[in-house]
């Protein structure tokens, strides 16, 4: 195997460089089909690999297929890599049709890589795909907690994100996911990167515009998932709100926040209320007339239609109540 010829141009040795250039040129003329490649002293690459087309001077015509041949690994984002000309020659010597190429350039090439931060949306999509097909996680939802400044940087190129594993919350450590970054089909970095996740909960939102005073029915509301940090602001889906009354107008898709709803009116002044009184093993049902409006679980005064006595009752259903004793406890 004949080694590739290298012409290294070093500024302090201009005269020697010209002599070597003339000698190499004479060798090229005597060897039919040889190719002279002028290399750049600096190069900026895209992707995870340094390609031949990245380091050749502009205007040089390369044979078909040569430009995309890999020479070396690209440097890490925000770093500069020193690529010796000898390393370029060794890489090209792996290709049978490139062993007679003559390289001309500085002894080393300064290589940097275009880079970008990983889009948090790509990580979120990978987490969603992972949890969707695993029994342990499929009934739960998570939000990636990373901000743009904390996300890793990768070379430009086709990026794929793969979740390797997820870990449950332990102590003060939140739920987390180990992700593998893949650029142009090759794993990038020294190993998986860990990102924190926030568990989400379902909350109630309006399915259509709603008007103040309306009582909610099941077709008016739907679940919307939010991070746990918002748990105190909105009504969680674990809290039943059917029958509650709107205190103000609500837009379609709007989350129902605390203070937007009032308990439903269970009795209005003058209506007949069925009152249940339990004392010992005896249960008695009375008819009473409401002396005030009252909502669910509120206590109001009613007038016993039979005895004419006033009594305090607690509303538990529309026009249905439980008799309270003087201490405020249900009569038993």
Q: Are 195 and 220 in contact (CB under 8 A)?
A: no
Q: Where does the pLDDT of residue 15 fall: very low under 50, low under 70, confident under 90, or very high at 90 and above?
A: very low
Q: What is the DSSP letter of 212?
A: T
> What distance in Å separates the CA atoms of residue 132 and residue 124, rounded to the nearest whole number?
12
Q: Note the pLDDT of residue 21.
A: 41
Q: Note the pLDDT of residue 300.
A: 94
At residue 246, the 3 state secondary structure works out as strand
Handedness of CA 297, 303, 304, 309 (dihedral sign): positive
Q: Note the pLDDT of residue 36.
A: 87
Q: Note the pLDDT of residue 148.
A: 57
| Greater model confidence, 82 or 118 | 82
Q: Are 206 and 253 in contact (CB under 8 A)?
A: yes
CA distances from 225 to 5, 187, 235, 280 (A): 64, 33, 11, 47
Q: How many CB atoms lie within 10 A of CB 288?
A: 25
Q: Note the pLDDT of residue 275.
A: 95
Residue 310 has pLDDT above 70, yes or no: yes
CB crowding 211-231: b at 16 or more within 10 Å, else e: eeeeebeeebbeebebeeeee
Average pLDDT of the chain? Answer: 83
CB crowding 38-48: b at 16 or more within 10 Å, else e: bbbeebebbbb
pLDDT digits (tens, 9 = 90+) for 47-58: 788 999 999 998
Token duo for residue 206: 């309006």
pTM above 0.75, yes or no: no
Closest by alpha carbon to 46, among 68, 25, 62, 27? 68
Residue 22 has pLDDT above 50, yes or no: no
Residue 328 has pLDDT above 50, yes or no: no
In order of start, what are the domains of the chain with their CATH numbers? 5-113 (no CATH), 117-199 (no CATH), 201-262 (3.90.1210.10), 265-323 (2.30.30.760)
Over residues 2-11, mean pLDDT: 49
| Greater model confidence, 181 or 232 | 181
Q: Is 33 exposed, middle or buried (0-12, 13-18, 19+ CB in 10 A)?
A: exposed
Q: Are 154 and 115 in contact (CB under 8 A)?
A: yes
CA distances from 331 to 51, 193, 222, 298, 307 (A): 86, 62, 39, 16, 18
pLDDT digits (tens, 9 = 90+) for 190-217: 778 888 899 899 999 999 999 998 989 9
Residue 12 has pLDDT above 50, yes or no: no
Strand-pair partners of 274: 287, 320
Q: Are 245 and 291 in contact (CB under 8 A)?
A: no
Q: Note the pLDDT of residue 31.
A: 46
Q: Note the pLDDT of residue 137.
A: 93
Q: Note the pLDDT of residue 305.
A: 92
Q: Note the pLDDT of residue 10.
A: 42
Q: Note the pLDDT of residue 82.
A: 94
CA distances from 17 to 7, 20, 76, 85 (A): 8, 5, 33, 15
Closest by alpha carbon to 96, among 32, 27, 4, 29? 4
Closest by alpha carbon to 92, among 153, 51, 57, 58? 51
């Amino acid at each position: 195997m004949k080694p590739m010829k290298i012409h290294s141009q070093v500024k302090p040795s201009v005269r020697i460089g010209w002599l070597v250039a003339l000698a190499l040129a004479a060798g090229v003329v005597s060897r039919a089909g040889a190719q002279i490649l002028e290399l750049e002293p600096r190069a900026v690459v895209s992707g995870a690999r340094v390609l031949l087309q990245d380091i050749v001077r502009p205007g040089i015509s390369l044979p078909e297929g040569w430009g995309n041949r890999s020479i070396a690994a690209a440097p890490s984002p925000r770093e500069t890599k020193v690529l010796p000309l000898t390393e370029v020659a060794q890489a090209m010597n792996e290709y049978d049709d490139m062993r007679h190429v003559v390289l001309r350039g500085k002894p080393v090439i300064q290589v940097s890589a275009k880079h970008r931060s990983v889009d948090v949306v790509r990580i979120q999509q990978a987490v969603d795909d992972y949890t969707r097909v695993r029994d342990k996680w499929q009934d739960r939802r998570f939000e990636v907690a990373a901000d743009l400044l904390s996300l890793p940087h990768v070379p430009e190129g086709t990026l794929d994100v793969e979740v390797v594993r997820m870990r449950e919350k332990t102590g003060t450590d939140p739920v987390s996911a180990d992700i593998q970054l893949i650029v142009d089909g090759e794993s990038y970095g020294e190993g998986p990167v860990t990102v924190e996740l926030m568990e989400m909960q379902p909350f109630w939102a309006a399915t259509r515009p709603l008007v103040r005073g309306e009582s909610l029915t099941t077709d008016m509301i739907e679940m919307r998932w939010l991070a746990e940090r918002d748990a105190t602001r909105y009504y969680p889906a674990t809290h039943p709100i059917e029958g509650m009354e709107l205190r103000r107008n609500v837009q379609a898709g709007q989350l129902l926040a605390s203070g937007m709803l009032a308990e439903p009116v269970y009795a209005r002044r003058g209506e007949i209320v069925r009152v249940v009184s339990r004392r010992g093993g005896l249960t008695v049902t009375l008819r009473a007339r409401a002396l005030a409006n009252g909502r669910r679980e509120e206590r109001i005064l009613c007038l016993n239609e039979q005895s004419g006595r006033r009594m305090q009752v607690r509303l538990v259903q529309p026009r249905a109540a439980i008799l309270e004793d003087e201490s405020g406890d249900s009569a038993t």
